[in-house]
Structure formats: structure tokens, C-alpha cells
Amino acid sequence: MRMRRRRRKTMARSSVVVPNLVDPKSYLDHDMLEVWRVLRAQDPVHWHTETSEGPGFWVVSRYDDIVRVLRDDVNFTSEKGNVLATMLKGGDMGAGSMLAVSDGNYHTSMRKLLLEAFSPRSVAGVERHVRRIAKQLIVEAIEKGECDFARDIASAIPLETICDLLDIPQGDRQEVAKLTKSALASDYENPEAHADMAARSAIVVYFQNLVAERRKAPGTDPISLMATAEVDGRRLKDLDIVLNCYSLIMGGDETSRLAMIGAVRAFIQNPDQWRALKDRESSVDVAGEEVLRWTTPAMHFGRTATADISLRDRTIRAGDLVTLWLVSGNRDEAVFQNPDRFDITRSPNRHLALGYGRHFCLGAYLGRIEIRAMLDGLRAFVGAIRQARPERWIYSNFLTGMSSLPVVLERDPAPAVGWEE
Ligand code: HEM
């Protein structure tokens, strides 16, 4: 009854035809920027009707409303999942264990522990390595002539970085990379394929063994920290640690990769901004923030309401699923001037690409290091970027970006300026 009432109200107020947001195909078939624009203007707290995949859910598209929900951890929880895929299934198997889908004291305590390993001081060595790899891959790509920026450059950096952070032995890295790629097969290769469960299980087994080793001989990496410390008054079980390792690998790999690929395409499409980068009209720090806003690799995150609460003139009921479209908030004309312009000098740039509030991205510093290293490498060694063949977009209702971007990186004949390792 309640759902029927809501549905009628929605149809009356919204002239926009909202595609099925659960279906990954919708993001390839529709002009989603236009969909978000109209939703922000006409129905900013929109009720999405149920689909074959699960119940209906709220679609929040304005910046201020997204922030309001993300900062309210009293009336909203992450423990019933924080992305559509798990929320629609009724929950996440990592709930109460994996940082991103836990709340309360456990979350606070676990986050404090992991932040030690993610602090700028701890990742200084990782940063030097990222810059070395970025330079090496860019220089190799220039020499090769044409390359696939996604496959040959962007895919190597984030995984290598997170492996550095977790102190994964060099000899295992190729296997970890292979398994990660297989586990994401549905997003990257064959839209019809189901995610590769075997690869996921293999990653879990791999980390189980690593946790056992770190318990015996701990270092200063996040796995050792989790293996030896108490969180919210208890020692973590192997499964808690394994789930968190898995989420660090998955969370840290794809998002940064998609941001870097999106940056290159944005420069191809906006040659004035490439010029501005080359001419140092903006620092790589400021430019990196615009890359994050522009690409917003994680389109949405979600919460479940724990109490009845009003948002604008809508009443969200306890138990309702609420999705927050960062990809729309980052183009909100009420917050950003000329939101549809890629402007590497944009400042301030209070984008939501890394989230907001208590679940703000734990890997933000690391992700930013990777993007900056890439921008710095491109501007130091590349004179011009050309797209060689059409790009391919990923198939997902959660992430957005490209899995293939064939380009030609032309050498800058001038000596590299300002590159430090
Ligand atoms: C949380 C985006 C890189 C690990 C988040 C959230 C967003 C986000 C939007 C908030 C989720 C929520 O509110 O439910 C991104 C983007 C990245 C990036 C766009 C790259 C450009 C990374 C990296 C790592 C990482 C490199 C790890 C190595 C995490 C973790 C959380 C998180 C563990 C959960 C934090 C918590 O719940 O307290 N990320 N992320 N992310 N991210 Fe990232």
C-alpha cells in the first residue's frame, strides 16, 4: 500500500523517464548526465520502483541531500550493505566485519587502526614507488607508439600500490593481479558472464595464508596490524582480516584505475586543459581533485534507514534503502560553477568522489598519490595525447569508466621539467 502511494506521487511529479538503475546496461544506453540533471531539478528524492533484482529504493541526486544522509549515522546504517548489489540482496556478508559495511564502535576502532597504515608518513615509500612505476610505464608507452592506456598503464599502478602497502611478496603479485582481474570479469570482459567465484575464493585462500604468516612474524603493514591488535575489545578473527584485505584490494584497485583512465580521456576531449596542465596553470594536486570530480568512478553508495526520517518533502521509512548518487552530486549546479566543464584550475572543489563523513575513503591519500603521479608523469614526458581507436566502457551499476582506451602518447621533445622521484 505504502509503495503504491509513493509510486503514484513520483509519477505525478517527475516527467523524467528514469531508466532501471539496477541494470548495468542502462548506463551505457542512456545519457545519464541528463537523467541526473532532470532528477536534481524535478525529483531530487526519487522513488525507484522495485525490479526483478529486488525491492524499490530511494534515489538521492542533490549534493546537499547526499551530504545530509552521509553525515547522519544515527538514522542511516551501512551494515545492511553500502552498494545496490548487496543492499538489494538484503545485506553484505562482510557486515559488521569489513570496515565499509560496519558501524559504531567496531568501525571507529578498526578505522583508527587502519588509518595508521594509511597515514602520509606510512605511505611515503609507496609514493616513491608509484612515481617510479608511472614514469617507467609512460616512457615505455611513448616508445611503443600506440598503447591501451587502461591495460598497459592504468591497470598496473593501483594494484602494485596496494600490494606495496599490504607488503605482498613480489613473487605473488602476478597471481594476485590475475585473480583480481578474473574476480571482476563481469565488469570488464563479457557482460553476460557472472563474476568469477573461483577467483574470489582463491583470493580469500591466498589472504588466509598470508594472515597466518603475519600472525607469526608481524610487520607494520595493515595485515600485521589487524593480525596483532584488538579492535573494539577483541582480537580479530582470520575471516575479519581476510574480508578487509579483500575489500582493500577491490576498493583500491578499480576506482583509482578508472579515475586515471578517465583523466586521459578528459584531456583528449579538452585540449585546452591538457595545455593548461602542460603550462603548469594548475598544480597536480588541484588538477587531481578535478579528475576525481569529473570521473567519479564510484557512481553511488547507499545506506539503509534505521528510523522514519524526512528528506525534503519525502518521508523515508525505517528499513528503506537509500542510494546516494555521487556522480550526480558532483555535477550539482547549486554547488559547482559550470559543473559540466572539466576545469583543472577549479578551486575550491568540494567534490564527493571520495565520499563524506565517517566512511570517507580510507584510501583517499593513496588514491590521490596515484592520480597525481600519473598527471605529473604525463605532463613531464608526454607532448600530445591522441586517441587511436574507440574506447570501451565497463558494464556496472556501481562503477563508471573505461576498460580500454587505445591512445598514442607522443614524446615531449623538450626535456622533462620538474620531475622528481
Ligand atoms: C570508502 C571512493 C581509493 C579503500 C570509499 C568511499 C568512497 C570511495 C566514495 C565511501 C563509501 C561509503 O560511504 O560507503 C574511492 C575512490 C578512490 C578510492 C574514488 C580512488 C580514486 C581507495 C583506495 C583504497 C580505498 C586506494 C585502499 C587501498 C576504501 C575503504 C573505504 C573506502 C577501506 C571504507 C572506509 C570506511 O568505511 O570507513 N572510497 N576510493 N579506496 N575506500 Fe575508497
**415: pLDDT strictly greater than 90:** no
Instruction: Give pLDDT, residue 12.
Output: 44
Residue 356 alpha carbon, nearest atom of ligand 1: 13
Pocket test of ligand 1: the residue of 231, 361, 399 to mutate, having most ligand atoms within 8 Å of its CB, is 361
Residue 102 alpha carbon, nearest atom of ligand 1: 37
Q: Which domains does the chain have, with CATH numbers?
A: 2-411 (1.10.630.10)
**300: pLDDT strictly greater than 60:** yes
The arithmetic mean of pLDDT across residues 364-377, rounded, is 96
The arithmetic mean of pLDDT across residues 383-412, rounded, is 96
213-246 per-position pLDDT tens digit: 999 999 989 999 999 999 989 999 999 999 999 8
C-alpha of residue 336 to centroid of ligand 1, in Å: 23
Lowest-pLDDT choice from 190-204, 336-350, 371-385: 190-204
Instruction: Give pLDDT, residue 161.
Output: 92
Instruction: Give pLDDT, residue 5.
Output: 42
Residue 297 alpha carbon, nearest atom of ligand 1: 19
Question: How many CB atoms within 10 Å of residue 197?
Answer: 10
Residue with cell 600530445: 384
Alpha helices in 270-313 (DSSP H): 271-278, 284-295
Report how far residue 147's alpha carbon sits from residue 408's, in angstroms, rounded to the nearest whole number.
6
Choose between 188 and 386: higher pLDDT.
386
Report how far residue 390's alpha carbon sits from residue 296's, in angstroms, rounded to the nearest whole number.
21
Instruction: Report the candidate in 399, 297, 357 with the shortest Cα–Cα distance to residue 77.
Output: 357
Take atom 25 of ligand 1 and give the residue whose Cα is closest.
363
Instruction: Report the candidate in 248, 352, 260, 253 with the shortest Cα–Cα distance to residue 300.
Output: 352
Supply the mean pLDDT for the chain: 92
Instruction: Report the candidate in 328, 287, 354 with the shortest Cα–Cα distance to residue 16.
Output: 328
Report how far residue 86's alpha carbon sits from residue 101's, in angstroms, rounded to the nearest whole number.
10
Amino acid identity for residue 396 in this structure? S
Residue with cell 576545469: 343
pLDDT band at 185 (very low <50, low <70, confident <90, very high): low
Instruction: Report the candidate in 35, 58, 65 with the shortest Cα–Cα distance to residue 329.
Output: 65
C-alpha of residue 416 to centroid of ligand 1, in Å: 33
The arithmetic mean of pLDDT across residues 335-357, rounded, is 98
Report how far residue 395's alpha carbon sits from residue 190's, in angstroms, rounded to the nearest whole number.
9
Instruction: Give pLDDT, residue 200.
Output: 81
C-alpha of residue 233 to centroid of ligand 1, in Å: 25
**Angle, CA 356 vertex, CA 353 and CA 357 arms, to 5°:** 165
**186: pLDDT strictly greater than 60:** no
Instruction: Give pLDDT, residue 4.
Output: 40
3 state DSSP class of 57: strand
pLDDT band at 420 (very low <50, low <70, confident <90, very high): confident
Instruction: Give pLDDT, residue 354.
Output: 98
Instruction: Give pLDDT, residue 192.
Output: 44
C-alpha of residue 112 to centroid of ligand 1, in Å: 15
Take atom 42 of ligand 1 and give the residue whose Cα is closest.
361
**Angle, CA 396 vertex, CA 83 and CA 147 arms, to 5°:** 130
C-alpha of residue 115 to centroid of ligand 1, in Å: 12
Task: Please write down the long-range contacts of 7-11, taking CB distance under 8 Å and 24 or more positions apart.
Answer: 7/47, 7/49, 7/56, 9/47, 10/43, 10/46, 10/47
66-123 per-position pLDDT tens digit: 999 999 999 999 999 999 999 999 999 899 999 999 999 999 999 999 998 888 888 8
C-alpha of residue 153 to centroid of ligand 1, in Å: 21
C-alpha of residue 251 to centroid of ligand 1, in Å: 6
pLDDT band at 3 (very low <50, low <70, confident <90, very high): very low
CA distances from 160 to 164, 172, 256 (A): 6, 11, 12
Amino acid identity for residue 77 in this structure? T
C-alpha of residue 331 to centroid of ligand 1, in Å: 20
Instruction: Give pLDDT, residue 121.
Output: 84
Around ligand 1, the residues with Cβ closer than 6 Å are 78, 82, 99-100, 111, 162, 247-248, 251-252, 255-256, 259, 297-298, 301, 353-355, 359, 361-363, 366-367
This model of the complex carries an ipTM of: 0.99
The arithmetic mean of pLDDT across residues 284-290, rounded, is 98
**191: pLDDT strictly greater than 50:** no
Phi, psi at 406, each rounded to 5°: -70, 125
As given in the structure block, the three cell numbers for residue 295 are 570521473
Give the percent of the chain with pLDDT over 70. 93
Residue 357 alpha carbon, nearest atom of ligand 1: 13
